[in-house]
Chain A
């Protein structure tokens, strides 16, 4: 069972839910927690453990071989991303713009643009009790999160002795979120009871519908005063699985990097979520 915790809006509590849910499940069984918010990975601030592995991640980019190049310009014409440009008698490669499609390289008549590895980030794994935690971290200055997310997913797919896998997804609705959620069984959308929360939830729901995914909603920092959020969920038959109350105690524990699944209100919410996951599994 692969579950992604996502949200349109940032700061609604994705990381809080992902880490506390993993710790709650880990009281009874082994669980994998994966931080796919590669631009700003935060789960590791809450789930420390013993470092097991560190793997540098690369993407493939072309490297120009001057000796064999005939300056036919085909590579520049074949690159739709302006990542390969001919300047006089030189071919320039711009790694930030390269999508690793291999077209320039494989269509080069003289094989003068072999693909080579270019560092984009790092995947680290940690073990703490029943939690096997993976953190995927994009190098600062790298603009494309998608290749690293895709590689992290492949890495996690290769592990089959633990079935419960929880993914902390990046915020938003664009390509990194698609990559992080496209292969999971269930997406939990975390939102908050404000017009911002509702607006961004609607965007996230549209995205999930476009991908034809199964999803449900958890309302974080819940308090009364904004009914439109729940009205929207009811009207669109989106299950609201749990509400986590707005409590300063939670905010305070969070600010210190502490988990809070032991707080009774939170524990109840997590039990409801786990029950929903089990039902979805069937």
Chain B
């Protein structure tokens, strides 16, 4: 079983549309993991059936029992996260600020503070309309530990692939270079970058590639909207060559991506022309790299 991660650094480059199209092409031989748990969109294209859903707990949250609180201020003094609210009637925890370190619990002289398991979201196993398995999640509002939820989604996807003798786990990664991306990358066999020829696209590609290098994972790149800016497109190609990143394909600037999303279709379902061929070639290209 091989694991392919699609990432972009920058958002809005077409990463999810391309991943969904790959899922379409690989069909039942792919388990899809939507690891963009902050802003998960894959379900809008793949129409999952939510066969299984489970709450995800990660980390802890402090809770103050107002009856036991003697308002000594010890918790307030040690909290580095401004998470203790001194209300006129009693002390309370500001949940969005609490990081779950438990320092307040340890210094409370009246045992008024207890640490509770933190519900950070939900995760699901589905069959999609394209006959893939999909593991996806919904992060709770303002939740922390999205990196841990990403790891959970990925591990469940891998277990599912093993159990069902599926050859590929296809991961839709999140933007940025922080903990969710690090979680998306760990253990991957191949990385597909989706970028665009804009000054921001290349800037973010370089940063996320610096991160990928630390993991020593082979990678390839799709340049979406390649004709938007020929000069930056060339700069990206030069960078790919320099850094030994395979140049998988160039996709032209076209609003077909948006139109397909509006119809809830992958690019394979949406049209039979140039994009379909490009995507088939790209997917074959990725699979060849894994051989």
Chain A residues packing against B (C-beta within 8 Å): 8-12, 15, 39-40, 42, 45-46, 78, 80-81, 99-103, 106-107, 138, 140-145, 170-178, 182, 192, 194-196, 199-200, 203, 206-207, 210-211, 221, 225-226, 246, 248, 251-252, 254-257
Contacts and interface: CB of A to CB of B under 8 A. Distances in A.
B203 interface: yes
B96 A103 contact: no
Contacts of B166: none
B136 to A, nearest CB: 12
Given A194-B261, A195-B262, A99 B228 contact: no
28 contacts: A8-B38, A9-B41, A10-B39, A11-B10, A11-B13, A40-B204, A40-B208, A78-B103, A80-B60, A103-B102, A103-B103, A103-B106, A106-B78, A138-B177, A140-B210, A142-B178, A143-B147, A144-B179, A171-B38, A174-B139, A175-B144, A178-B142, A195-B44, A199-B41, A211-B96, A246-B255, A256-B198, A257-B199
A196 B11 contact: no
Nearest to B205: A40
Contacts of A195: 41, 44, 261-262, 264
Contacts of B262: 194-195, 225-226
A141 B214 contact: yes
Interface string B195-213: 0111111011001101100
Given A45-B200, A175-B142, A196-B44, 5 more contacts: A10-B10, A11-B12, A39-B176, A101-B99, A170-B176
A145 B139 CA distance: 18
Contacts of B139: 173-174
Contacts of B16: 196
Q: Describe A's contact surface by its main secondary structure.
A: loop
Contacts, number: 181
A10 B214 contact: no
B78 to A, nearest CB: 7
A69 to B, nearest CB: 19
Given A80-B100, A106-B78, A210-B142, A42 B203 contact: yes
B142 A199 contact: no
Interface in B238-291: 253, 255, 258-259, 261-262, 264
Contacts of A226: 262
A177 B106 CA distance: 29
Interface of B: 9-13, 16, 38-39, 41, 44, 59-60, 78, 80-81, 96, 99-103, 106, 115, 139, 141-144, 146-147, 174-180, 182, 196-201, 203-204, 207-208, 210-211, 214, 225, 228-229, 231-232, 253, 255, 258-259, 261-262, 264
Contacts of B80: 100-102
A39 B182 CA distance: 12
B99 A99 contact: yes
B245 to A, nearest CB: 16
A174 B11 contact: no
A9 B11 contact: yes
Q: Which of B12, B59, B106, B231 has the largest number of chain A CB atoms within 10 A?
A: B12
List 4 A-B pairs, minimum CB-CB distance, nearest first.
Answer: A11-B12, A10-B11, A101-B101, A172-B38
Contacts of B178: 39, 138, 142-145, 176
A65 to B, nearest CB: 20
A182 B81 CA distance: 13
Contacts of B115: 80
A174 B143 contact: yes
Contacts of A12: 11-12
A228 to B, nearest CB: 9
B241 to A, nearest CB: 21
B66 to A, nearest CB: 22
Given A102-B103, A143-B179, A45 B210 contact: no
B124 to A, nearest CB: 15
Contacts of B11: 9-12, 171
Nearest to B37: A174
Contacts of B9: 40
Given A39-B176, A42-B204, A178-B96, A210 B103 contact: no
Contacts of B214: 140-141
A20 B74 CA distance: 47
A233 B200 CA distance: 29
B278 to A, nearest CB: 20
A42 B228 CA distance: 19
Nearest to B38: A172
